[in-house]
Structure 1
């Protein structure tokens, strides 16, 4: 169990979460492992086979706190929430903008620009830090390719072209990430392109898990300001898909998730024993690995950075909420265009 920043993560298989007056109690095999006052929590996140009592579900819904269910690998399964809240005028503005092709394209371009700029910063940092001149040159070339993709994204005539630019840039970016992994652990954490559902290697398993937690934070961020997380600009709308949360996630993938993955790998905080290989070639974090990653994720979110637009230091974990508020201001007409978060 991890209780950080008002979110309680329950990862122990067959744990039982239930209400004890005004306290959430977590039991494993009828032994109490944790007690948390309900008013200290904003969300309960359960991994895998965790039991939650109906009374606790009802109380969470009544108090506007979310219950999120993920599978053992961290993939989103379901979310329980109370009645929809937020500003109906903001959601009307969101739907109006999503129905305007020019406004949709402008917002999508900004989201992709944020993603490419931040991805480029990861590669440039890797180029500076490596002691191998050839690898530094390769990373610099990959970063320049992303700069070219940025220019192409700026000129994209429609969403399909923009998505194509973003997809091609992502392939080049993931191909270069291997060079940021320390040579002594590259065999263990080789990244053979981006694979999902299921991940085919340990690096993919790690970033997929991190992306799942990031997506949940971005969904919460969208909902916290009254936006509809289902209606996005860059990602196509599909039933059951939180398209806006996926949109917000793009600019944070590299600076929050990928950088943390590289840190965990290069510092030896994860190894082959933290992953299980399953029938059919799937690779997943095991229980020990998930615990280590969740703890590191929460620590990472408490680190502070300077937000250029606000000109103030903020915890990394608040960035999705800040950007959701900036998007809301843009949709209301308080800002001329959406400005993504750009890492230094």
Structure 2
């Protein structure tokens, strides 16, 4: 399970092999054997004993800011697997091999979007015409991206233009799936300008944490990307790879609106946008965690969605090792 601390004033500490969660005058005991990760939002505190227990049990602690972006984490200090993986990752980063690898992830993202829109078309027949038109146009963009070749230096401008065009069309189409009162003008971040983007940004932040963890456990360097630039302290590889899994956040958030779980009282107004409040974070995180824990068919196996990220990372690491031999 993921232990999620969203209540202001929460104190996490330890008693033997148990985590103790204290909120005001109530204390809850949770066995460390049941915990996979601990997500901590603003306003919570924890003891060094709790941190020690988490490290002993290989439980990573992830700290999220008010927008849902991870700003820090604590876990064991040993990198996964062999350094040969990271050397090869760095070696191919600026080559066509690296570019094609990341390009495949971008194509996979659009394939996921196409599958989702096709599923929505079957369920929402009144939108069939609009969704069909969007699917056809998005397929054209997908095919153009898939046909690219060369290195990132040669194709950077082209790929980002195509990706932006596809993204604009996709979000315009997602907008049709939302209740009219919650439709948005465009994607917005830090802070979001509307309820949908507020939820989506927070969901992406949680997903970043899942992808980063899987990268490190597989021996991949989160900071050596193939398409996103290697700016100082920027996890560019995570930004590359997360493209494969963004659809899970998209679908989870759209489902919240479709199931009428979103109310105005889940948000706090900022002077320049919106942020999720304590209740809003609880609603989103409960839905997203359940969605990530759901088992689906993948490569002839039934696995949790979050496990797919780890399987993919190990596959990528093995590919890099094979290229190095």
Fold agreement, TM-score > 0.5: yes
Match of 1:321 among 310, 317, 320: 310
2:22 is the alignment partner of 1:27: yes
Q: Answer whether contact 1:111 1:234 (CA < 8 A) is retained.
A: no
Match of 2:233 among 229, 240, 256: 240
2:159 is the alignment partner of 1:162: yes
* Structure 2 counterparts to residues 178-327 of structure 1, below 5 A: 178-181=175-178, 185-187=179-181, 189-254=182-247, 256-280=248-272, 282-307=273-298, 310-327=299-316
- Superposed CA offset, 1:95-144 (max 9, x none): 22214x21121112101110111111222222222232xx3222211111
Aligned to 1:340: none
Aligned to 2:172: 175
Aligned to 2:105: 111
| Distance in 2 (alpha carbons) for counterparts of 1:312 and 1:57 | 35
Once the two structures are TM-superposed, the CA of residue 334 in structure 1 deviates from its matched residue by 7.4
Give unmatched runs, 5+ long, in structure 1: 336-344
Q: Answer whether contact 2:67 2:191 (CA < 8 A) is retained.
A: no
Secondary structure in 2 aligned to 1:209? helix
| Distance in 1 (alpha carbons) for counterparts of 2:140 and 2:187 | 21
Secondary structure in 2 aligned to 1:18? strand
TM-score by length of 1: 0.87
Q: Answer whether contact 1:265 1:271 (CA < 8 A) is retained.
A: no
Aligned to 2:88: 93
With over 3 angstroms needed to count, the CA separation of the structure-2 counterparts of 1:274 and 1:225, relative to structure 1, is: same
| Distance in 1 (alpha carbons) for counterparts of 2:132 and 2:205 | 29
The structure carrying a bigger helix percent of its residues is 2
Secondary structure in 2 aligned to 1:235? coil
| Distance in 2 (alpha carbons) for counterparts of 1:330 and 1:141 | 37
| Distance in 2 (alpha carbons) for counterparts of 1:12 and 1:260 | 22
| Distance in 2 (alpha carbons) for counterparts of 1:72 and 1:128 | 36
With over 3 angstroms needed to count, the CA separation of the structure-2 counterparts of 1:243 and 1:325, relative to structure 1, is: same
Query: Runs ≥4 in structure 1, deviation > 6 angstroms?
Result: none
- Superposed CA offset, 1:185-224 (max 9, x none): 321x112111111110001011111111111111111112
Q: Answer whether contact 1:305 1:313 (CA < 8 A) is retained.
A: yes
Higher mean C-alpha deviation, range 228-237 or range 198-207:
228-237
Give unmatched runs, 5+ long, in structure 2: none
Q: Answer whether contact 1:248 1:320 (CA < 8 A) is retained.
A: no
| Distance in 2 (alpha carbons) for counterparts of 1:212 and 1:96 | 29
Q: RMSD in angstroms over aligned alpha carbons?
A: 1.9
Secondary structure in 2 aligned to 1:36? strand
* Structure 2 counterparts to residues 49-88 of structure 1, below 5 A: 49-86=43-80, 87-88=82-83
| Distance in 1 (alpha carbons) for counterparts of 2:53 and 2:120 | 47
Once the two structures are TM-superposed, the CA of residue 286 in structure 1 deviates from its matched residue by 1.7
| Distance in 2 (alpha carbons) for counterparts of 1:277 and 1:321 | 37
Q: Answer whether contact 2:103 2:145 (CA < 8 A) is retained.
A: yes
Q: Answer whether contact 2:17 2:53 (CA < 8 A) is retained.
A: no
| Distance in 2 (alpha carbons) for counterparts of 1:85 and 1:285 | 34
Aligned to 1:341: none
- Superposed CA offset, 1:4-49 (max 9, x none): 2xx21111111111122222111112531x2122343332210111
Secondary structure in 2 aligned to 1:230? coil
